[in-house]
């Protein structure tokens, strides 16, 4: 019951917000998600092992109703690609080069943005 009410509260908090999401997975079906709130600038990061139906991924993303989903071009035609397109049919699923899913560069960029924010 607590979980369902948490989902309702989270959904209500995000009703007027606009989100996009980047999703990447490796061969072991470990999924990484970055959800960006474009209305109230914030980023939510998550990584986890998922099953062949991508239940974790779908549950996490469903809380935010992303308008745009970014996945790697290397995932084109994959099971994850199909699940995301079917589940989020009202969202735009875009393929981008794999080089943009770089954990080290992403981490450095987030740290730099955090430092810049403190200096504002």
Give the model's confidence band at 115: pLDDT under 50 very low, under 70 low, under 90 confident, else very high: low
CA angle, corner 13, sides to 7 and 18, nearest 5?
105
Q: 65: which residues sit within 8 A by CB, 6+ positions away? A: 14, 19, 91
Decide if pLDDT at 36 tops 60: yes
| Beta-bridge mates of residue 85 | none
pLDDT in tens, 75-110: 999 999 999 999 999 999 999 998 888 878 877 877
């Amino acid at each position: 019951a607590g979980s369902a009410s948490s989902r309702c509260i989270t959904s209500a908090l995000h009703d007027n917000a606009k989100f996009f999401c980047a999703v990447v997975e490796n061969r072991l079906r470990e999924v990484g998600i970055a959800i960006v709130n474009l209305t109230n600038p914030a980023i939510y990061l998550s990584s986890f092992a998922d099953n062949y139906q991508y239940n974790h991924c779908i549950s996490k993303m469903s809380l935010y109703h992303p308008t745009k989903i970014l996945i790697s071009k290397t995932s084109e035609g994959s099971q994850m690609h199909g699940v995301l397109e079917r589940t989020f049919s009202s969202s735009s699923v875009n393929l981008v080069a794999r080089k943009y899913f770089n954990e080290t560069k992403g981490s450095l960029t987030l740290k730099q943005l955090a430092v810049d924010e403190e200096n504002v």
